[in-house]
Structure 1
């Protein structure tokens, strides 16, 4: 199954969605792209047949950041409205009930690095570069999202300088989780998506919910909340099937919903 917006292309096969930002030449994000991304991830998350999504960019760039021309006449009043669109889109990715894997095929700059940070797992090309260049164009970027991964020092360095960080340095800074040759980015992400999709769909969705919610909790509160999710997953048929399959040394047969 496929469905297309103007700039965000989506293909779906067996509950695995590939979402591609396709806005030549650099996949820069305009208001229209923000809105298409928001609607896409809402739609994927609301579909019970969906199990995992892969987010990538068309061509040689993952996402080149915001459409800079949008900033030229951006004053206080319209900036407030503009940034509301941005926040809603970022929230749609972070809150999407299914795991999202970023297949970072090239530059992830500005909004690009934030979109990657909002995904659950990041696979990057050896040629990928990462930056928060907003300091050079009169705005401030999504550093708080990047800071979840990179920590204070690296985030501040990127924010204050706009410096481009190569993939190997991004890996050391925990901005990405794996670096692979350029031709292996999407295959690696898809193999990981297949592995995740083979698990119990209700358990995966509850696991993501738990990881998102407990991220802001202390240790004891977080584990207590996670225990409530364990109780919830035990109500599902998939939980019993998973345990039986383990005992019987076979692959579980999860129903397609």
Structure 2
């Protein structure tokens, strides 16, 4: 469990997130994920990286419990910096990154997927930024890469989710398949890319990033400044605790 990587055939490297129960990634996990993806891209034998997850969903974002139980702002700063590193690692990876999204993709998961080169998703996948409900801001930069501007704003302000099928309609998700076929679908695309000249593909990745109209690293860090500001006011702490208390109440009722 945790963050792992494995080499498959033809220079395809799979990076897997497996942090039960919902793949809410703690601060150190974001840094580990960034390092794993960066090293995968630097491997001279690598041609494609597949970012995938085990469990109920792709990613539930940051570990809110970690932030709440840590005095002061140390955990928040670490999570902010870790997310920025992980998102940047996907974007700057020297080879294309394919995100294979199962189940829920929330918060920081949007940052990872929004910076990927190719997205495939299971037919039960949903995507969303619940940030405003948690007293935080961030990853609008990455959501804006998945949907048109006004839809991004609507989803952001309402904290609503959007389905994989809807993102396929908008062209950001390349393919939607039954969950049991998700890994195979990602690997098929990876194999197709891996057959290309690796020098050309690496140059293509760098060139495409170079013509990107949005400076994703800068805009995301700008968003994070407002997150920290909200934390200084105490608004974020109350919102996070209300979310955790609501979860505990729901679990008690289910029990």
TM-score bin, normalised by smaller chain:
0.7 to 0.9
* Cα distance between partner residues in 2 of 1:141 and 1:74: 22
Please give the TM-score of this superposition, normalised by the length of structure 1: 0.77
- Structure 1, unmatched stretches of 5+, are 1-5, 218-257
Which among 4, 10, 18 is matched to residue 5 of structure 2?
10
Partner of 1:167: 164
For the Cα contact (< 8 Å) 1:31–1:85, is it kept in 2?
yes
Q: CA offset at residue 170 of structure 1? A: 2.2
Quick one: distance in 1 between partners of 2:178 and 2:42?
Answer: 34
Higher relative contact order (CA 8 A, sep 6+): 2
3-state SS, counterpart of residue 54 of structure 1: strand
Contact map agreement 1:146 1:175 (CA 8 A) in 2: no
How do 1:167-186 residues align onto structure 2 when only pairs under 5 Å count? Answer: 167-186=164-183
1:47 partnered with 2:48: no
> How many Å apart are 1:167 and its aligned residue?
1.7
**In 2, distance between residues paired with 1:32 and 1:82?**
8
Write 1 or 2 for the structure with the bigger share of helix.
2
Aligned residue in 1 for 2:25: 29
| Count of aligned pairs | 212
CA-CA distance at 1:176 after TM superposition? 1.6
Compute the displacement of 1:76 (Å). 5.9
| Offset of residue 70 of structure 1 | 3.3
Once the two structures are superposed, the pairs formed by residues 54-93 of structure 1 within 5 Å of their partners are 54-72=50-68, 79-93=76-90
Does residue 228 of structure 2 align to residue 195 of structure 1? no
Instruction: Give the whole-Å Cα distance in 2 for the aligned partners of 1:176 and 1:25.
Output: 25
Query: How far 1:24 moved relative to its partner?
Result: 0.6
Deviation of 1:146 after TM superposition, in Å, equals 1.5
Mapping for residues 123-162 of structure 1, pairs under 5 Å: 123-162=120-159
CA pair 105-78 structure 1, distance change in 2 beyond 3 A: closer
Query: Any stretches of 5+ residues in structure 2 without a counterpart?
Result: 215-255
CA distance in 2, matches of 1:167, 1:81: 30
Task: Output one character per residue of 1:178-222: Cα deviation in whole Å (capped at 9) or x when no partner.
Answer: 1112111110110110110000000000000000011139xxxxx
Checking the alignment, whether the CA contact within 8 Å between 1:16 and 1:52 is kept in structure 2 is yes
Secondary structure in 2 aligned to 1:63? coil
Deviations 1:3-50 (A, max 9, x none): xxx511211023111111000111111112101111101111211111
- In structure 1, C-alpha distance between the alignment counterparts of 2:66 and 2:172, rounded to whole Å: 27
The offset of 1:65, in angstroms, is 1.4
- Kept in 1, the 8 Å contact 2:30–2:86? The answer is yes
CA contact (8 A) 1:30 1:66 kept: yes
Q: How far apart are 1:141 and its partner, in Å?
A: 2.4
